[in-house]
Amino acid sequence: MDVSSFSYEALPMRVRFGPGAVASLGDEVRRLGLRRVLVLCSPEQEETGDRIAGSLGEHSAGVLPEARMHVPVEVARRARERAAELGADGCVAVGGGSAIGLGKAIALQYGLPVIAVPTTYAGSEMTAVWGVTEGGRKKTGRDRKVLPTSVLYDHELTLGLPVAMSVTSGLNAVAHAVEALYAPDASPIISLMAEEGIRALTSALPALVDNSTDLAARTQALYGAWLCGACLGATTMSLHHKLCHALGGSLDLPHAPTHAVVLPHALAYNQAAAPAAVEALRRALGVPDPARGIWDLAGALGAPRALKDLAMDEQDIDPITEQVVANPYANPAPVTREGVTLLLHAAWAGDAPSA
């Protein structure tokens, strides 16, 4: 990338990474001077939440296993009330973007610190971005208050993440790093992290498909997810994230699979306008055409490659295009109605990406 001029702002947080990192949660709670923390998780991960709360002893205020995708406003309200009733002075969010998003919703209103224990590769733990959904509309914003104070990455907690979710969540993370490479606020340090994160994740995912409990591959994948999440937290995202935001928000398409389908097409759209990003991606992926390489990889990993397979109706292409074109994010290639329509048709049908 061009290193002659840039600005970079580091986000303050503490990261502990390694097998058994979650065993240091008690130390982390005490280090932050917290007395009673509320453990947040999805209903499917209640057992993990209970185990973690149990390990905290008197420092646990209880478990709230109610996290849901896109943080519905009523869930956020209930969680805030519960935190206040229980006298919690902090939260531990264990799980994917949904659990961490719930922690952020509590932090936004009460300023309670969040310790994140991520168990997917989505990356929310590394960002100051919050989101709450009300009446079918997701409101998002950026606020330093919601940035987790500490993040404990423990690959042992990811061993049970099903293969299909590991693959789409991993590609979701790769998408953050891809867009960080051509972001309007890209910087040399973030580009290094992006390239390394993509290399780590794309080499770990095939090994996870072969054996989902391969510890070395789980470690690589989580390491890659950390780097890609940090890229998301430090830069402004472009067309790919705008498309996924519109598809998820308006049509309720599943978050990580939507990212997996759209990424090769959004990248193909931008490649000619982002030569330095393409060079970095060639090095990370070891292929001449990164967009085609990611599409091939998604196929080899068994990831979805067509929006129609995520139950999107073809007639929704036009309204989504309108939404994206009406209020586009900054993007290397101009965002045109014709270009976005072609992109969405290819992604909907499952065609190979083309510029």
CA 304, CA 241: separation in Å to the nearest integer? 17
Nearer to ligand NAD, 120 or 219 (CB): 120
Which of these ranges, 7-15, 40-48, 179-187, 300-308, lies near ligand NAD under the rule CB under 6 A? 40-48
Cα separation, 229 vs 197, whole angstroms: 9
CA distance 77 to 74: 5
Confirm if 207 and 224 have CB atoms less than 8 A apart: no
Of 60, 98, 150, 235, the one binding ligand NAD (CB under 6 A) is: 98
Interface region with ligand NAD, contact rule CB under 6 A, candidates 37-45, 147-155, 234-242, 316-324: 37-45
- Please give the DSSP secondary-structure letter assigned to residue 160: T
Question: For residues 174 and 291, what is the distance between their CA atoms, to the nearest angstrom?
Answer: 12
| Block residue for tokens 């409990």 | 213
Please give the residue whose beta carbon sits closest to ligand NAD in the complex: 97
Q: Which is nearer to ligand NAD, 108 or 287 (CB)?
A: 108
Residue 212 as a binder of ligand NAD (CB under 6 A): the answer is: no
Half-sphere exposure of 168 (CA within 13 A, CB side): 19
Comparing CB distances to ligand NAD, the nearer of 1 and 114 is 114
Taking the least distance from each CB to ligand NAD, the nearer of 97 and 304 is: 97
Find the shortest distance in angstroms from Cβ 222 to ligand NAD. 10
3-state secondary structure string across 21-66: HHHHHHHHHHHCCCCCEEEECCHHHHHHHHHHHHHHHHHEEEEECC
By CB under 6 A, tell whether 45 contacts ligand NAD: yes
Minimum separation from the CB atom of position 187 to ligand NAD (A): 19
Q: Which of residues 58-77 bind ligand NAD (CB under 6 A)?
A: 69-70
Q: Under the criterion CB under 6 A, does residue 95 sit at the interface with ligand NAD?
A: yes
Contacts to ligand NAD from residues 295-354, by CB under 6 A: none
- For the record, the structure tokens of 182 come out as 């051509």
- Return the amino acid letter for 215: L
Residue span binding ligand NAD (CB under 6 A) among the ranges 94-102, 180-188, 264-272, 335-343: 94-102
Residues 6+ apart with CB under 8 A from 276: 1, 2, 181, 182, 191
Identify the residue among 63, 79, 116, 161 touching ligand NAD (CB under 6 A).
Answer: 161
What is the rounded CA–CA span in Å between residue 255 and residue 277? 24
User: Nearest CA to 90 among 117, 114, 58, 62?
Assistant: 114
**Residue 10 φ/ψ, nearest 5 degrees:** -80, 140
* Phi, psi of 20, deg, nearest 5: 80, 5
What residues between 164 and 183 interact with ligand NAD by CB under 6 A? 165, 169
Site for ligand NAD (CB under 6 A): which residue of 29, 107, 198, 256?
256
Residue 343 corresponds to which tokens in the numbers above?
């992109």
The least distance separating ligand NAD from the CB of residue 70, rounded to whole angstroms, comes to 4
Query: Site for ligand NAD (CB under 6 A): how many residues?
Result: 28
Give, in order, the Cα–Cα distances in Å from 42 to each of 63, 75, 189, 204, 304.
10, 11, 34, 26, 24
Considering only residues 137 to 156 of the shown chain, the ones binding ligand NAD according to CB under 6 A are: none
- Site pattern 107..136 for ligand NAD (x: CB under 6 A): ------------xx-xxx--x-x-x-----
Task: Give the shortest CB-108-to-ligand NAD separation in angstroms.
Answer: 11
Task: Give the three-state DSSP class for 145.
Answer: helix
Smallest separation, CB 247 to ligand NAD (Å): 12
Chain residues in the site for ligand NAD (CB under 6 A): 42, 44-45, 69-70, 95-99, 101, 119-120, 122-124, 127, 129, 131, 157-158, 160-161, 165, 169, 232, 255-256
